[in-house]
């Protein structure tokens, strides 16, 4: 009986960990205030090799991995 409980707990944990990866695979545009209100922070990264191009993503919180407008 105890083995079944551990197997069930392991399956539930794997499912919970897979959900954020699926959400991050389909990014949606959010505003900066939505990102911060959802518990995340905005990460700005330079894109390319010298051109002034930047990528802004919400990291953490409800909108993890989504593009910030």
Q: Residues 12-30: pLDDT tens digits?
A: 555 555 545 444 445 578 9
DSSP 54: E
pTM of the entire predicted model: 0.53
pLDDT at 41: 94
Q: Kindly list the strands in the beta sheet with 41-47, ordered across the sheet, starting from the edge strand earlier in the chain.
A: 41-47, 53-59, 66-67
Cα–Cα distance, 2 to 33 (Å, whole number): 46
């Amino acid at each position: 009986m105890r083995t079944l409980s551990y197997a069930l707990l392991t399956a539930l944990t794997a499912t919970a960990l897979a959900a954020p990866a699926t959400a991050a695979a389909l990014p949606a545009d959010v505003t900066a205030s939505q990102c911060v209100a959802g518990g995340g922070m905005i990460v700005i990264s330079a894109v390319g090799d010298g051109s002034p191009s930047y990528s802004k993503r919400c990291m953490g919180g409800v909108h993890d991995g989504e593009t910030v407008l």
